[in-house]
């Protein structure tokens, strides 16, 4: 009986911690991003693990959530202050960046909820000479960057 209790306790404890893809939150004065940070682990990520032309949640587990504290111009498009699910459609030379208003999605359910897209914009891929082992996002008052494996994409912001 004790073993059963311990096993159940271990399972419920392990899930929120996301040991394989830890979650992180980055904050600036006007931007908050919460996302899962998977590791490369020797895999070819874009084009293989994350196929070209298919929706990607920009992280692990839940879709990446991005909050703008005030109205912003995001990759050249006006966006009202608020929280959005961030998705992308990776390709070899550019990614389509998507902000979606449905915050209750799991994984890549975006395709079922595309009618709630606030915007879709294309950004160029920047190829990296040194691979990034763990998916990393950064934010500043001028841009948001996502880097993983051999690529990064920059998304401009203006407040």
Output the pLDDT for position 61.
Answer: 84
Query: What pLDDT band is residue 16 in, cutting at 50, 70 and 90?
Result: very low
At residue 39, the 3 state secondary structure works out as strand
Output the pLDDT for position 62.
Answer: 84
Please check the confidence at residue 5 and state whether its pLDDT lies above 70: no
Query: What pLDDT band is residue 39 in, cutting at 50, 70 and 90?
Result: very high
> Looking at the domain assignment, is residue 4 inside a domain?
no
Strands in 126-139's sheet, in edge-to-edge order, are 77-79, 72-74, 143-158, 126-139
**CA-to-CA dists, residue 157 to 38, 74, 127, angstroms:** 25, 5, 21
The count of domains in the chain is: 1
What is Dmax (Cα atoms) for the chain?
60
> Looking at the domain assignment, is residue 58 inside a domain?
yes
Output the pLDDT for position 109.
Answer: 61
> Looking at the domain assignment, is residue 127 inside a domain?
yes
pLDDT, tens only, 82-129 = 999 999 999 999 999 999 999 887 666 666 778 899 999 999 999 999
The more confident residue out of 109 and 142 is 142
Please check the confidence at residue 7 and state whether its pLDDT lies above 70: no
Task: Give percent of the chain with pLDDT exceeding 90.
Answer: 75
**Mean per-residue pLDDT of the chain:** 87
CA distance 136 to 155: 14
Output the pLDDT for position 79.
Answer: 98
| Dihedral angle of Cα 90, 77, 152, 56, to the nearest 10 degrees | -30
Q: Which domain holds residue 152?
A: 20-158
């Amino acid at each position: 009986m004790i073993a059963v209790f311990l096993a159940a306790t271990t399972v419920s404890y392990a899930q929120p911690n996301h040991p394989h893809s830890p979650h992180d939150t980055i904050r600036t004065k006007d931007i908050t991003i919460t996302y899962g940070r998977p590791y490369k682990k020797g895999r070819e990520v874009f084009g293989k693990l994350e196929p070209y032309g298919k929706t990607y949640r920009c992280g692990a587990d839940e879709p990446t959530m991005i909050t703008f504290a005030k109205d912003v111009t995001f990759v050249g498009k006006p966006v009202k202050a608020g929280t959005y699910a961030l998705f992308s459609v990776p390709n070899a030379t550019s990614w389509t960046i998507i902000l979606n208003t449905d915050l209750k999605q799991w994984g890549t359910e975006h395709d079922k909820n595309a009618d709630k897209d606030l915007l879709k914009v294309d950004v160029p891929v920047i190829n990296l000479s040194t691979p990034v082992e763990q998916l990393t996002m950064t934010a500043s008052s001028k841009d948001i960057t996502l880097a993983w494996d051999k690529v990064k994409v920059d998304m401009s912001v203006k407040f």
